Amino acid sequence: MDLGQKLKFLRNKQKSRQQEIVEGICSVSYYSKIENGNVVPNEEILQLLARRFGISIQELVQTDEAMSDEVVREAEDIYNLIKENQTAAEEACQLFLEKYKNSLDPGMKLLISLVQLRFALRFSTRAEAEEKFQEVEALQEYGNLKIMPLFNRVCGLYHYVSGNYDAALELYLGLANSLNYPYKADIHYELSLVYNRKGNIYKSIQHLETALNKYLQEMNYNQCTVCYFLLGINYHKMNNYDEAIDYYYRIEKVIKDDTNLLRKVYHNMGLAFEKKKDVEKAIVYYQKSLSVSTDEQHNLKTIEALASIYLKIKNEEKATHYISKGEVLADKPDLEEHAIKFHVLRLQLDEKDVKEYLETVAIPFFEKRNDTDILFRYNVLLSDYYSQNKQYKQAYFKIKKALDMRGGIG
């Protein structure tokens, strides 16, 4: 970080104007040139500025830590470790923060905030992640060419998790097109996730195949397995449920210790069998998904799927059991989406008017998050409501809207 940017960072940190900083030291126009990097001040002015900011001249002119390849690599290692081992990631993150907490370099502050945001995205609430993202945005201008790839990746993940897929796409594509970025396989995999959420299955598979080839070259077979899982999801979205189930079976045979992936595999097998209208097998695999995970919050989607399927087959006792269980687990500020889904199921179970809640709460909430899958379901539900009440025009528009979300395919 150059001297001008550091001075600007320190001034903004104090929430001071240039006039307040330079009083008795130099003219505002001269100081402005220093901040813009157009002039280099003499030692006397540097000494006075350092004193004005309450630091030593050595601290003001010290070497930019964030320009070090080693420091950026430490941050990138923590990013990757977070995916693999929570305890080790927590230790590495704590050591990193302790090591650089006293740095006055704004580029270093940005790097620290990026590590904290990555950690928050994996282990903290949505509100905490949003707070960290605001910190990162405020420091963005202090980034350099070495930091910005990590900025793109962490903020790309933040936008993906937040449902802002276009913003995530822009950041990830910048990395995919970079000649020297070392984690290209991961970026192509992350791009495949974004395209999957956007409903562009062709692009998702295209990036997935690129990622697979790179993972095979690196002999990273664990990530190859994860790619096969996403291929199963893509085939599911193409309504090729047999092909999707085949990929899930392959994964089930090779994974041993990754209970989180196995939980997801069983859940998705349940979804595929439900689409094939094999309710009995769907329930079996949903139950298997619940059996391999002790984290009940991670099981919320499966609990919702079981509640929904029992509601469809009119098994009121079991539908009530899973809806009640889901309502309790989702009664937390950061789990609002699940709370909404279970409330819709509760209204259906109790045979209450679901229209008003869908139109005023549920659909607006998921429209903000651009969640086309749940919006498709809720528009179909509204269409059914209007049909039952002989409001055929409204029913037509709702089913048309639902079909438009799927490219005209039911």
* Gap between the terminal Cα atoms of the chain: 54
At residue 47, the 3 state secondary structure works out as: helix
Domain count, the chain: 3
Mean pLDDT within 374-397:
72
SS3 215: helix
Give the tens place of pLDDT for each residue, 326-369. 999 999 888 999 999 999 999 999 988 888 898 899 989 988 88
Give me the CATH number covering residue 8.
1.10.260.40
Helix (H) or strand (E) holding 89: helix 86-100
Q: Where is pLDDT greater, at 201 or 333?
A: 201
In this structure, of 80-89, 134-143, 266-275, 398-407, the range with the lowest mean pLDDT score is: 398-407
Q: What span, in angstroms and rounded, lies between the C-alpha atoms of 131 and 53?
A: 27
- The string of pLDDT tens digits covering residues 160-171 is 999 899 999 999
Closest to 183 measured CA to CA, from 74, 77, 71? 77
Do 153 and 81 belong together in one domain? Answer: yes
Q: Is residue 351 a part of any domain in this protein?
A: no
What is the C-alpha to C-alpha distance for residues 377 and 393, in angstroms, rounded to an integer?
19
Most confident of the ranges 73-77, 181-185, 259-263, 325-329: 325-329
Residue 352 neighbours by CB under 8 Å, 6+ apart: none
* Distance in angstroms (rounded) separating the CA atoms of residues 348 and 345: 5
- pLDDT the model gives residue 402: 55
Mark whether 36 and 74 lie in a shared domain.
Answer: no
pLDDT band at 262 (very low <50, low <70, confident <90, very high): very high
- Residue identified by tokens 């077979």 is 221
Q: Could you tell me if residue 6 is left (phi over 0), alpha (psi between -120 and 50 degrees) or otherwise beta?
A: alpha
Has residue 317 got a pLDDT over 70?
Answer: yes
**Distance, CA of 250 to CA of 227 (rounded, Å):** 12
Inside any domain, residue 281: no
pLDDT score for 160: 94
Kindly tell me if the per-residue pLDDT of 58 is higher than 80: no
Q: What is the mean pLDDT of residues 127-135?
A: 92
Q: How far apart are CA 279 and CA 291, in angstroms?
A: 18
Asked if pLDDT for residue 324 goes beyond 90, the answer is yes
Using pLDDT thresholds of 50, 70 and 90, give the confidence band for residue 409.
very low
Q: Quick one: 117 and 139 in the same domain? A: yes
Q: How confident is the model at residue 26 (pLDDT cuts 50, 70, 90)?
A: confident
User: pTM for the complete prediction?
Assistant: 0.69
Average pLDDT taken over every residue of the chain = 86
Task: Say yes or no: 56 and 93 in one domain.
Answer: no
* Cα(22)–Cα(71) distance, integer angstroms: 33
β strands within 246-398, DSSP E: none
Q: Rounded distance, CA 82 to CA 365, Å?
A: 30
At 398, is the pLDDT very low, low, confident or very high (cuts 50, 70, 90)? low
- 49 and 86 inside one domain: no
CA–CA distance, 154 with 135 (Å, rounded to integer): 13
Residue 35: pLDDT band (50, 70, 90) is: confident
pLDDT given for residue 392 in this prediction: 57
> Is 54 in the same domain as 113?
no
Q: Which residues of 79-88 are buried (b: 16+ CB within 10 A; e: fewer)?
A: bebbeeeeee
Q: Looking at 41-50, 195-204, 269-278, 401-410, which range is the least confident one? A: 401-410
Q: Same domain for 73 and 49?
A: no
Choose among 199, 206, 231: nearest CA to 371: 199
- Reply yes or no on whether the pLDDT at 16 is more than 50: yes
| Token pair 């937040």: residue | 162
User: Which amino acid does the sequence have at 203?
Assistant: K
Question: What is the spatial distance between Cα 402 and Cα 410, in angstroms, rounded to a whole number?
Answer: 8
Structural domain includes residue 358:
no
At residue 410, does pLDDT exceed 50? no
- Whether residues 44 and 73 share a domain: the answer is no
What's the one-letter identity of residue 268?
N
The H helix count followed by the E strand count for the chain is 24, 0
Could you tell me if 285 and 269 are in contact, meaning their C-beta atoms sit under 8 angstroms apart? yes
Q: Check residue 391 and give its pLDDT.
A: 65
In a domain, 169, yes or no: no
**pLDDT at residue 57 greater than cutoff 60:** yes
Point out the domain boundary residue: 141, 162, 183.
162
Residue 149 forms part of a structural domain: yes
C-alpha distances (whole Å) from 90 to each of 82, 117, 122, 186 are 8, 13, 11, 22
* CB within 8 Å of 162: residues ≥ 6 apart: 130, 369
More confidently predicted of 295 and 393: 295
What is the structure's pLDDT at 404? 63
By residue range, what is the domain housing residue 50?
A: 3-62
